Each structure stands twice: as C-alpha cells, then as structure tokens.
Structure 1
Amino acid sequence: MQNPSLHKLLNQAAASPHIKNLQQLWANNPQRHQQFHLETESLYLDLSKNWLDNNSLDLLHQLAESCQLQEAIEKLFNGKQVNHTEQSTAGHTALRDPHHSDYQANLTAMFNLADRIDSQHIKTAFGKPVKQWVNIGIGGSYLGPRLVIEALTELQSESRIPVYFAASVDDSLINQLFRTIDIEHCLFCISSKSFGTVETLMNARAIESKLRACSGYQPQAGQSSLMAITAKPEKARQHGIPDDMILAFDDNIGGRFSLWSAIGFPIVMAAGKKAFKNLLVGAYKMDCHFRQAPLPGNLPVTMALLAVWYRNYMQLSAYGCLPYDARLRCLPQWLQQLMMESTGKMHNNAGQIIDYATAPWVFGDHGQLSQHAFFQAFHQGLDALPLDFIGVIDDSPNQQFLLYNMLAQGAALMQGREEDSSMAGCPGNKPSTTLLMKRMDAVALGELLAMYEHMVYTQSVIWDINCFDQPGVELGKTLAKQIQEYVTTGSLNQLHLDPSTLSLINQVSPKIKESNHD
C-alpha cells in the first residue's frame, strides 16, 4: 500500500457518483455479466452485481502489480521466506504438488497408518477393531477437517468410520460425546501442531481419565486408543503416545493452512484415500491457476482485489460468506479463521504500525437458514457489505430449489422493490458476488478451499502484512494461563489485571470466593 498516486486514483474511483449505482452500471454496460465473470475447471465466478467498473478493476490490477504480487506468489511456491516474523517458509502448497518430495512423504505416512487401522493390525487398547474416531483439536486442527468431512463423506463409497470432534473445553460436550460413541472401538487422536494448546490437552486428559476408568483398558504393543498428529512429535512421545501412532508434519505449515497435511488424516479415515488425493488434485489445479493465470483472469487474485476495494476504498468493514448447501455449512467458520487470523494485523512486514484497515469482520451461515435470520438487514438496513453467495450445481430438485433461492437473493439485493407503502419497499443497489461450484466432489472442494487461501495470501501482499503468524491469539492464551495459576495458588504474582477482571475471577471461582469469605 505504498503508491500514493494510485491510491488517490482508487479513492477517486470509489467516490465516483455512478460506481454505487448498479442500475447505471448495467445501463452503461448491458453485457456486464459476460465481462465480469471468471471460470476454472470447477468454479464459476460472477462479479457483475458488484460496485465495480472497468476503470476501478484496471486500477486494482495496477495496485497488485505495484505490490510485486507475481514475485510474492513465486516466493510462496519456491519455498522462500514469506513468514517474516518467524523467519520461515509456508509449506502447505508443497503438500499438494505431486512433483514435490513432501507430497509423497505426507501421503505415504498417512495411508500406511490408515491401512494398518483398516486391516486391524492396530486395535484399540481394549483389543477391539477401530470403528469410530474422535479428533481432539481446535482451530486449524478442527475447522478444516470438519468442513471437508461434512462436504464429502456422504459422497464416498470408500468411507471407513464415523468421525467425531472434541474441540471446545466444555464438560457438557465431552459428556455428550461419550454418550454417542462406543469407547471400546474408538480411536482418539490428539491433533495439535504445537502439542501445547491448552484446550486440546485438557480435553485429552479428560478423555484419558475416562479411558483409564473403563475395565479392560490395557494399552500395549499394537493396541492403543490414542494417537497424535503434531509438528512436535517429541512432545507426543513424552505424553506416552507410541511412535507408530504419531503422524508428524513440518513446523512451516500454518495451522489454518494445515488440512492438506497429516492434520487431514481424519478426512482419510472418514472419506477414504481416493477422496483425500482428489482434494489435493483440486487444490493443485488452483495452485497452478493462481501461479500462471494473468491478473485479469486470475480468480483468487480478483477475489482478493475486490475485498481490498470494499475494505479500503468503499470503507465497508464486514464480509459475508453464505453457502447454499448444507455440505458447506462449516465454510463460513473456516473462512472466518483463515481471513481474520491471517490478516487481522496492525503491523506491516517491517514492524511499523499501519494506518489502513485490513481484515474485515467475516460472518455467515447456511444461506437459506440465513434468509430467515439476518437477510432482512441486508434488504432494508442502511448498511451495505460484500456478500459471497456460494452454490453447488446439482440436478436434485431440492438442491435446485436452494440455488433458485440463492439467485433470487442476489437479484433482489441488486434490483430492490418499489412499493406504495414505504414500509414494504427495498432500495436495492446492494452488491454481491455469486460463486458456483460446478459439482460437489473432492476436486471441486480442493479448488474452492485453495482459492480462498490464495485470496487471503494476495490480500496480505497488498496490505504488506504477514498472514502466517498470529501474535494476538497468543496474548489471550497467556492471560488465561496466568488466571488459572492465580486461581490455583491464590497468588497475585505477575498478574496485572484490571479490577473488573479480578472481581469476575472471584465470582466464577469457588476456591477464591471461599478464601475471601474465610
């Protein structure tokens, strides 16, 4: 964001009277839908309902070029340092490149373990075959795998076992989980890049306690109810996990970019090896497109530029993700973490405090359910915001009905409705983007997810920030640990908290309340 003259032109374009008038934009260019769409093998992107014209789009392409975007893309794929604060590369794209050594090593480790489980060479600590799986993880160790499993498992004839997730530290959820599963036939996997995430380790200890309380629980060679997926295998060994039940991945793979790594092993167990390989195929297709397509036809780059246009020049602070397919119901939460943890930064790569906005507030839900929840604010509220409507082309009558609803919402937001009664009128002129998956399969899903990853990376290049670290997340973890130590010891040593928080600690902690009462 270092080109003052270009920023001035973009601000002038955003202030132009016609740019926020969709009716005028269409009147000026009745063929917008042909000009403002992009396509890959699996995706069709329609941008024609956005506050955008040829001039503003050309200026945005110039902005990308001025930020040396193509050079930054090559750094990502060539294993150059792109995570400047941690002085590391970003290895997630190598895991889906069939020409890279990491690709085959990753698949071999995962598939070998899957085959051993599937053939009953590995049994649970009760001596029973594995028929269920629980993934103990949070954040990137949870959102990506869950999204893919929900999207793909009903399509796969190779599906092995049902997969459950233990993400939140919440007794009610853990108790509900144990009412659902058959513990003697269940394999529990501790998924944590650092093997130090407090929530994950607390859940792991709670589950281990329940296992030890069961009669017949006898861990031994070839029999284990626990395994681990981590970038710190030595910590998993210290935890007592056998070497042959540990899947490791490199530390240069960010958690929210990690579903392509061993973190995706639950996908292999639930949807099968072929589905996971096809997921990588789709992601690699998008990698090639992102790397090779010229800027005007580059789908993730265009998505990123549109988001920058709305955030920095239209001054819109939110971003909606609205999938009209229940199989993609976890996509908004996954994208929320991907975008907000990656681009929610206040320092540029040189460590300087920036004076421009970065991450928008990302939200969303299943589209049709959202129509009956918060779409009213879109149609008649005073604010506008960029919305991604995401649909899956399908011959099923019900799925087609969902698509018709989605298309109607985009049209209604743009066209509005005039009524004699002002209370019933909708002003229209609200922008939106429509993204169609041409089918729902692993290849198409891989393309979609890799597209959003590259969109976020492109945003980070334009904003000159590091999208692979997350220092703000660590602050809350540190304070939580300090509060827990304070409650345990009753000591205020190095606990610098405000009176309100200290008072609330006293309210929620019986131990502290009893001490104060005495």
Structure 2
Amino acid sequence: MTDAPAALWNALETLEFPTLGALFAVPGRLDRYCTTLDLPGGPIRFDWSKTHLFPAAEAILARLAEAQGLAEKRRQLIEGEAINNTEGRAAEHTAQRGVGAPASVVEAEALHERMQGLVEAIHEGLFGEVRSLIHIGIGGSALGPALAIDALTRDGARVAVHVVSNIDGCALEAAFRGCDPATTMIAVASKTFTTTETMTNAASALDWLREGGVDDPYGRVVALTASPEKAVEWGVDDTRVLPFSESVGGRYSLWSSIGFPIALAIGFEGFAEFLAGAAAIDHHFIEAPIDSNVVVRAAFADLLYTQAFKCQTRAVFAYDERLALFPDYLQQLEMESNGKRVTADGQPLTRPSAPVTWGGVGTDAQHAVFQLLHQGTHMIPVDFLAIKIPGHDLDPLHHQILLSNCFAQGAALMAGKASDDGARAYPGNRPSATFLAEDLNPATLGALIAFHEHRTFVSAALLGINPFDQFGVELGKAIAKQIDAGDGEGFDPSTEALLAAAGLRG
C-alpha cells in the first residue's frame, strides 16, 4: 500500500537532521553524494555531500516520489502525453534533442533541418553580408538564447547576436548602436506572434532598417514561432519562418527554433553538440536508479530545504564569467514553473512551493551578499558552478584564485568558525552543492540546462503541481493592455494617481 503524501511530508518535517559535520563523520559520505558523469562535453562532478541529505531523509523522499507517481509522470513527460493538464497538451522539449515520442522526435529533426538550411545559407552569404543579428523576444524566447550566446561566444561569433527583450526603447537603441542596418538581420521570437513587447520592438526594428536604407526590411526578418501563419500575415516570407511545436513551452524552448540565434552565432554543428549534451542528461534522468540519479538527488535536497528547513530562497553563484546569466535563466525556469499555489488538479497547495531563486557571479558576490550567507539569520542553500579549464589565456593565477575562492566558500559555509566575539563568529552548518565541469562548451552547457529542467520537474512532481503552465503572468499583462487601450477605469487610488502623474490619464 502506497504511503499518503501528507504523512510522508510530516515525517520529513519532524525528522531530526544531524549537522553537516556529523554527517561527514559517517564513512563513505563523499562516495554516496558525489557523482561524476562522463558526458559529451566532458565530465561534470555533481557534489551534494555538503547538504543535509542522509539515508533516512532520502528514504522518506523516495517513498514520496512513489506516492506522487514520479515514475509515471516521467513516462508521461518523455512519451509526449498531455502532462500539462491545465492547457491540455504535452511538454515535449526533450523531443527537440531526440528523446521522446518517435513522431515528435521526427518532427523536431525536420524543423532543425529547416533551421540548419537557413543558418548555413546566411553563413554562405546568400543573404548578402550579415555581420549582426538583433534577436527580439521576451521571457523564454530571450533568456535561453542570451545565456547560451554569452557563454559560448566570448572568443567571437560567426554572427554577432544582440538579444533584446525589454520594451524600454533604451534596450533596442543599444542594439542599434552596435549594428549596421546594411549588414544586420532581425529575428522575431514569439510563440504566438502576438506578444506586445516583442511585436512593438519588432516594428521599431523594421523602422530602423528602413531609415537605414534597407529597401525591403521584411526581407531581413526571420520569424521563430509556433504560429507560422501569423508571422506570414505580419509580412515574413514563409522561407524565413522557422516553426516549432505548440507542445514546446517558452522557458523550455531554446532547443527548438528559438535556438536559431545560438546556431547562427556558433554554427549549427555547435548547436547539435548543445542538443547532444542535453540528451545525455535526459538518458541519465530516465535510466539511472533513484539512489544514483543526480537529478532526483538535487530535487530531493531542494524539497528537504523548502519543506523541512523552511528555507524560502536558494542562491546560485557561477564562478565563471561566461555563466554570468545562468542565475537569471534559472529564475524563470524555476520560479515560473513551480511558483504555484494550487496542485495540478486545482486544489490549494498546503505547503511551500518553489523557493525564490537568486544569485550572481563569484568572486563579485563574495564582496556583496556573502555576509548574509555566512552570518545572517537565514539559512540559504547555495549552488556553486565552476569550470576546471579557464575561458581565457591570461596568467593561470586568475583561475587558480577563482576556483580556490569557490571551494573555500562551500567549506566555510559548512564548517563555520567559533569565536567569543559574536561579530566574528560563523555558525556553520550551512549547505551548499557544487557543479565542477571539465570545460565549458556547447555540450556542457546543454547538459547543465537540461539537468535543471529535470530537477525542476521532479520537485513539481513530488509537490503535485503542474510546472508547465504560467497563468500568474497574465493578469498584469491584461490590465496593462486595458490601460494602453484607454479602457482601464476604477483602479485603486494609488494606481490612478500614478497613471495621472505619468501622463497616462487626461
């Protein structure tokens, strides 16, 4: 008989947790909680030994996984069933990298071939000289491409890509200043091809091309969308429309045609390596037993801290400048996916959902926020991301100092330091996990992103929520449209006063 989830959550919450120091006194801890996977881009070490996971807690979480049907939900995800029940569709991002329902995989491969043809045509000069691409999107249509391009093109790109998401015209003007209209193409990324911010920015980009002497601005536009007919109606020729499936959600879409700017910047062969790295994590997640599954282990630790320790945030620090945008990417992935207050069947969620994800770049963050991590009153689990091979040719001392600081922070958070002077005392027993990759390349980045997608999914499965809808972003957008249309009336006095002060009320 399967245990009731409520009783298991209670068992986890009432469990007595040893300190990290006591846990390390048990032989074999490092072997159990530190795993290295040999992946297409090189090995990645996943070290969860400095967390409060231990066999008794894992046993409860494993029973929770069984009670909440994790194995069945994983099967539904991979086989393309309608796991996104509130919107009545599948979530088939894994099919984009070759792991999923056979028909969906074939469709994804065909759409990738279409994208490859356009990328190679641009590289071969069939569109004239193209030095720059302005990629216009928002949310998942921008954060993923921005992360990948920033991470993988520090040594140069085949085409320079400027990602613009903000409706604030300053963002678009900054991209214009770095480009020449005569050698620039525009990518418009929108699943529905109706997103207000994206389409407004796209119209301004067309004006910029026109004012810059481009006779046929629409001829310089590539559309990335699940609504190809709307892109054609807007003015993009069908040959430059790159569709993707409706079953690919925005924050999971960089593997699809939304990845066009990545492929244009690094070459399609690099994009294929990106997909391969992600697929390797897919296979590990599907095939590895729970007790050695690095994805499940990470989600177990996340739930342990939100549910038993009542931690409200989780921090992520990239000790590599090339991964500076990784915390930003994870904010949307985790908070939009799991920031829910009802279960998948519409019942109130009676326990904490996703923590607030935040972070930054080491070593900068050490001199800004680590004071609170070490001596503040909050317990905040920390993830550290590091790369063994540096991304520069400067004195190796730079990278030595960078990595030594990364590893020192995790050690200090755990060990702490006693002092009779309270201002100089460190409580310790503060958890962290560390990713150490051999190298940063397209396959490694793909693996790291896919790992976090599945980590987020496992947390959702155990909480019983749907991680693939995002209705919480709609209300504010709807009210903004009312205001723009002049229909918004009867707001609270503060909002009415702000509208009047900004000149949006007569």
TM-score by length of 1: 0.91
Are 1:69 and 1:462, in contact at CA under 8 Å, matched by a contact in 2? yes
Letter in 2 for 1:110: M
SS across alignment from 1:377: helix
Are 1:6 and 1:59, in contact at CA under 8 Å, matched by a contact in 2? yes
Give, in angstroms, the shift of residue 7 of structure 1: 2.2
SS across alignment from 1:365: strand
Are 1:134 and 1:166, in contact at CA under 8 Å, matched by a contact in 2? yes
Of the candidates 380, 384, 402, which is equivalent to residue 385 of structure 1?
A: 380
Are 1:20 and 1:429, in contact at CA under 8 Å, matched by a contact in 2? no
1:40-59 to structure 2, matched below 5 A, reads 40-41=37-38, 42-59=43-60
Partner of 1:174: 172
SS across alignment from 1:142: helix
- CA–CA separation in structure 2 for the residues paired with 1:35 and 1:297: 8
Of the candidates 357, 360, 366, which is equivalent to residue 355 of structure 2?
A: 360
- CA–CA separation in structure 1 for the residues paired with 2:92 and 2:344: 19
- CA–CA separation in structure 2 for the residues paired with 1:244 and 1:4: 54
Partner of 1:145: 145
Letter in 1 for 2:106: S
TM-score by length of 2: 0.93
Of the candidates 286, 291, 296, which is equivalent to residue 291 of structure 1?
A: 286
Identical counterparts, % of pairs? 36
Give, in angstroms, the shift of residue 20 of structure 1: 5.2
Partner of 1:504: 498
Partner of 1:35: 32
Letter in 2 for 1:71: E
Partner of 2:71: 70
1:101-180 to structure 2, matched below 5 A, reads 101-123=106-128, 129-154=129-154, 159-180=157-178
Partner of 2:247: 252
Deviates more, 1:252-261 or 1:298-307: 298-307
Letter in 2 for 1:37: C
1:206-355 to structure 2, matched below 5 A, reads 206-215=204-213, 217-219=214-216, 224-355=219-350
Q: 1:79 and 2:80 equivalent?
A: yes
- CA–CA separation in structure 1 for the residues paired with 2:424 and 2:453: 40
Are 2:181 and 2:208, in contact at CA under 8 Å, matched by a contact in 1? no
Q: 1:5 and 2:2 equivalent?
A: no
Give, in angstroms, the shift of residue 498 of structure 1: 1.2
Give, in angstroms, the shift of residue 238 of structure 1: 1.5
Give, in angstroms, the shift of residue 244 of structure 1: 1.0
Give, in angstroms, the shift of residue 30 of structure 1: 4.5
Deviation string for 1:267-317 (max 9, x for gaps)?
111111111001111111111100010001111111111111111121111
Letter in 2 for 1:200: T
SS across alignment from 1:363: strand
Q: 1:421 and 2:416 equivalent?
A: no
Gaps of 5+ in 1: 124-128
- CA–CA separation in structure 1 for the residues paired with 2:154 and 2:493: 52
SS across alignment from 1:90: coil
Gaps of 5+ in 2: 391-395
1:15-26 to structure 2, matched below 5 A, reads 16=16, 19=17, 21-26=19-24
SS across alignment from 1:195: coil
Are 1:134 and 1:188, in contact at CA under 8 Å, matched by a contact in 2? yes
- CA–CA separation in structure 2 for the residues paired with 1:382 and 1:357: 19
Are 2:154 and 2:322, in contact at CA under 8 Å, matched by a contact in 1? no
- CA–CA separation in structure 1 for the residues paired with 2:34 and 2:174: 46
RMSD: 1.7
Q: 1:370 and 2:365 equivalent?
A: yes
- CA–CA separation in structure 1 for the residues paired with 2:422 and 2:493: 50
Deviation string for 1:299-354 (max 9, x for gaps)?
11111111111111211110111110011111101100000000111111111112
- CA–CA separation in structure 1 for the residues paired with 2:66 and 2:436: 28
- CA–CA separation in structure 2 for the residues paired with 1:459 and 1:500: 38
- CA–CA separation in structure 1 for the residues paired with 2:258 and 2:278: 16
- CA–CA separation in structure 2 for the residues paired with 1:26 and 1:214: 64
SS across alignment from 2:219: coil
Deviates more, 1:263-272 or 1:391-400: 391-400
Deviation string for 1:200-249 (max 9, x for gaps)?
1111111122222233x2118xx822221111111111111111111111
- CA–CA separation in structure 2 for the residues paired with 1:354 and 1:142: 30
Deviates more, 1:273-282 or 1:53-62: 53-62
Are 1:163 and 1:270, in contact at CA under 8 Å, matched by a contact in 2? yes
Change (3 A) 1:2 1:329: farther
Are 2:52 and 2:301, in contact at CA under 8 Å, matched by a contact in 1? no
Are 2:319 and 2:363, in contact at CA under 8 Å, matched by a contact in 1? yes
Partner of 2:393: none
Letter in 2 for 1:452: H
Are 1:195 and 1:235, in contact at CA under 8 Å, matched by a contact in 2? yes
Aligned length in residues: 491
Are 2:111 and 2:257, in contact at CA under 8 Å, matched by a contact in 1? yes
Q: 1:448 and 2:448 equivalent?
A: yes
1:81-100 to structure 2, matched below 5 A, reads 81-97=82-98, 100=105
Partner of 1:431: 431
SS across alignment from 1:189: strand
- CA–CA separation in structure 2 for the residues paired with 1:445 and 1:210: 34
- CA–CA separation in structure 1 for the residues paired with 2:4 and 2:179: 55
Are 2:48 and 2:298, in contact at CA under 8 Å, matched by a contact in 1? no
Give, in angstroms, the shift of residue 420 of structure 1: 4.4
